[in-house]
Amino acid sequence: MSVIRYSLFSTRLSHFNGPIDLLLYLIRKHELDILDIPIALVLEQYLDYLAVLEQIDVNAAGEFLVLASTLIEIKSFEVLPGEETVEEELEDPRQDLVEQLLQYKKYCDAAAELEERGRTWQLRIPRLANDLPHRSRNLGDEPIREVEIWDLVSAFSRILRENAPKESLLMVDDDTPISTHMDRIHERLKMEERLAFRQLFQPGQHKSTMIGIFQATLELVRHEHAYVYQDTLFGEIELAFRQSTRKVVSGEW
């Protein structure tokens, strides 16, 4: 669980499920074989995600650093001389990692199946009273797929690079509470109903401000006040207003 602290607020998050979750996401994203992972490709992208997590919370990125060191060790193992020049057999560091991935994937698949069964059973429960008119379902109005948390991290990484301000000797820190960012985004979504994730940020914006906006977006999704989705794979990530049953009090979420 990540803890984000600025001078005026402390927000506890549970969005990032750990390094194995990120690694499995990268494998699925690129349709790789768990038993034969191209470490060079995975390591490069893993380190890109790690750079963003370190910006958000250096302490919480510690466990991700442990796996990063394992991936680097595996990459080093792959460039060792062939068996004919190695005097003694070395233990392949990939074996333990593959076992962890397979176990994690098994539990993720089981959780997804249980969630799907839950949705199916909810549809089977009959209404006690048929007091609502029939409404046709327009699939075109429904999001194609929910965005995974790592998709959002990837989009935020690109925005950080694109909007990075010029270097300055003046140290500036934005201590705006996350709840304030949440109020602003929520009001904007109510008016516009739908906007691109990158529209939340402005060129030259201070990095601490951008991180606060990113955290506010995660919190809005967690509190069910916004949808985050993309119509096509690797397409533009967008936010949409969600009419939540949870009551919103300005500054209190």
- pLDDT tens for residues 7-53? 333 334 445 678 999 999 898 888 888 888 888 889 988 998 898 88
Q: What is the pLDDT of residue 200?
A: 93
pLDDT above 90 coverage of the chain, percent: 13
Which of the residue ranges 4-13, 97-106, 109-118 has the most confident prediction, judged by mean pLDDT? 97-106
Side-chain half-sphere exposure of 32, counting CA atoms within 13 A: 19
- pLDDT tens for residues 150-191? 888 888 988 888 876 655 545 566 778 889 999 999 999 999
Do 219 and 171 share a domain, yes or no?
A: yes
Do 217 and 247 share a domain, yes or no?
A: yes
3 is a domain residue? no
Do 112 and 165 share a domain, yes or no?
A: no
Answer for the pair 67, 23: CB distance below 8 angstroms, yes or no: yes
Answer for the pair 190, 230: CB distance below 8 angstroms, yes or no: no
Report the domain count for the chain. Answer: 2
Tokens 């990120």 map to which residue?
Answer: 22
Question: Angle at CA 114, nearest 5°, toward 111 and 116?
Answer: 110
Tokens 């593959």 map to which residue?
Answer: 98
Do 112 and 39 share a domain, yes or no?
A: yes
Do 119 and 147 share a domain, yes or no?
A: no
Do 100 and 172 share a domain, yes or no?
A: no
2 is a domain residue? no
Do 180 and 232 share a domain, yes or no?
A: yes
Do 116 and 175 share a domain, yes or no?
A: no
Can you tell me the distance from the alpha carbon of 147 to that of 154, in angstroms, rounded to the nearest whole number?
11
Can you tell me the distance from the alpha carbon of 51 to that of 65, in angstroms, rounded to the nearest whole number?
10
Query: Chain-centre distance of CA 214, in angstroms?
Result: 11
Side-chain half-sphere exposure of 223, counting CA atoms within 13 A: 19
Do 119 and 45 share a domain, yes or no?
A: yes
Do 196 and 253 share a domain, yes or no?
A: yes
Q: What is the pLDDT of residue 138?
A: 54
The percent of the chain in helix, strand and coil, each rounded to the nearest 5, is 50, 10, 40
What average pLDDT is seen over the chain? Answer: 76
Q: Are strands 226-229 and 2-5 parallel, antiparallel or unpaired?
A: unpaired
Do 108 and 152 share a domain, yes or no?
A: no
Q: What is the pLDDT of residue 187?
A: 93
Q: Who wins on pLDDT, 83 or 205?
A: 205
Can you give the residue range of the structural domain that contains 210?
Answer: 143-253
225 is a domain residue? yes
Give, in order, the Cα–Cα distances in Å from 16 to each of 52, 91, 135, 179: 12, 31, 37, 20
Rg (CA), the chain: 22
